[in-house]
Structure 1
């Protein structure tokens, strides 16, 4: 039985780059975490230690900094495309590139002052390889909560089921979303804004009989609002809130105080796709 080298890649992970753009006395800031992974004709470095085909990971890091300086950062997706296309076009031995980016948001306090925004982190991923280029956008950690208009009942009951049915509960989640663009060219910032707004509107406007139902409503709303997208994948942890029984303290039983439980938690995952786009 032969033992052979399987698929492999290498790169520089989590290069932090902060780009300050100065427009007179008014500045803007872009804060990224960039990870690069390259693949191609790299068997020799694994099998014999010959590094002739290897672009050093330190060079990849330096390229991130240089491109941020030379080209600016129009959007995470555009910057990832720029880097991925550079690595695959400038090196004969590199035929595939994956660039993943997280963007950390900041709130403006003044012309050149900012505070870190604790809301969702924007994400982007670009894959350049045969047979083509794929661009993904998304976000992670968008925390949402409805204090009512959610219930859960009619589920399977077996000998181990103790969960009580409820007609009124808190529904909370921290959304991880990843969407795929139909083509590698789009107004990435506009799509991000529309997608985020559509998810929030669908979450707040849907009377939920299950988090699964809410997931589909959110994904459907994003695709309806963003014709540039082929699909969206959603990962929704169910952030459970349990009513605290205050009757032992001589208080009424109205459900007003809750215990926010962090684990274990239900995890709902799914994709919503256009059936006319591959």
Structure 2
């Protein structure tokens, strides 16, 4: 039986970066969590401990901070592309660089005062090789809820089924969405805001018979409104709400008081793809 080294990568995870842009009296604020992973000709270090081809992960961390000073840090897609291209161009043993960024939003309170925005996190994953660059943008933790216009019935029932069909339920989820761009040069801010608005608008405006139907409507709306996006992938946990039984207290409960469930929960995942979209150049998922 032969034993060989399989696919591998290494890097620096979760480098926290805050960049203050001091443009006169009004400051700008960027808050990133940057993770870097490199892959390539790294067999020797795994098999013999020869580190001659290993760029230290501490160097990767330092590069993040140096690039933030030298190039600024604005749109996460731009910053991720700069970093990934740097590692591929300067390290001949590196065949691919993957840079992931979580971008935390801050709302302005004054010229140099801010309040952390806590409703969702903007995400970016860039993969660069010597031949290609792939940009995936997204959002995580976007909590949405419809208190009406949601049904669930007509499903398979067997001997273990206890769920009752319903024509009126709360539909709630915490959206994790990723969208792959057709190219690597666009107005990243406008693209992100447009995709986010399309997701929210589709969720709110879809009369839902299943969370799967809502997932497709959300992904399709993004592709309809954002031509620069080739594919959308979503993971939608079903945040269950159970009608509270108030009968022991002599009270009726016509769909007004609910118990918010924690776990277990349903998890709906899927992708919506433009039929003429260029193929992905690197593996990606949520």
| Structure-to-structure mapping, 1:238-253, within 5 angstroms | 238-253=238-253
Q: Secondary structure at the match of 1:128?
A: strand
CA distance in 2, matches of 1:213, 1:130: 39
Q: Secondary structure at the match of 1:166?
A: coil
Q: Aligned-pair distance for 1:131?
A: 4.5
Unmatched 5+ residue regions in structure 2? Answer: 279-286
Equivalent position of 2:90 in the other structure:
90
Aligned length: 278
Q: Secondary structure at the match of 1:69?
A: helix
Q: Does 1:53 align with 2:53?
A: yes
Q: TM-score, normalised by structure 1?
A: 0.98
CA distance in 2, matches of 1:112, 1:136: 31
CA distance in 2, matches of 1:131, 1:89: 11
Equivalent position of 1:119 in the other structure:
119
Q: Secondary structure at the match of 1:36?
A: strand
CA distance in 2, matches of 1:7, 1:144: 38
Q: Secondary structure at the match of 2:216?
A: helix
Q: CA-to-partner distance for each residue in 1:103-125, whole Å, 9 max, x for gaps?
A: 01111111111111111100001
**Structure 1 runs of 4+ off > 3 angstroms?**
none
Q: Secondary structure at the match of 1:154?
A: coil
| Structure-to-structure mapping, 1:89-238, within 5 angstroms | 89-129=89-129, 131-238=131-238
Q: CA-to-partner distance for each residue in 1:40-90, whole Å, 9 max, x for gaps?
A: 111111111111111110000000000011101131111100000000001
Comparing 232-241 with 100-109, greater Cα deviation is found at 100-109
Q: TM-score, normalised by structure 2?
A: 0.95
- Asked if 2 retains the 8 angstrom alpha-carbon contact of 1:231 and 1:274, the reply is yes
Q: Aligned-pair distance for 1:254?
A: 1.6
Unmatched 5+ residue regions in structure 1? Answer: none
Equivalent position of 1:20 in the other structure:
20
CA distance in 2, matches of 1:169, 1:68: 47
Equivalent position of 1:65 in the other structure:
65
Q: CA-to-partner distance for each residue in 1:211-268, whole Å, 9 max, x for gaps?
A: 0000000000001111001100000000000111212112123221100001000000
- Asked if 2 retains the 8 angstrom alpha-carbon contact of 1:105 and 1:119, the reply is no
Comparing 129-138 with 16-25, greater Cα deviation is found at 129-138
Q: Secondary structure at the match of 1:252?
A: coil
Q: CA-to-partner distance for each residue in 1:4-28, whole Å, 9 max, x for gaps?
A: 1111111000000001111211111
Q: Aligned-pair distance for 1:129?
A: 2.1
CA distance in 2, matches of 1:94, 1:44: 13
CA distance in 1, matches of 2:246, 2:2: 67
Comparing 19-28 with 213-222, greater Cα deviation is found at 19-28
Q: Secondary structure at the match of 2:99?
A: strand
Q: Aligned-pair distance for 1:130?
A: 5.7
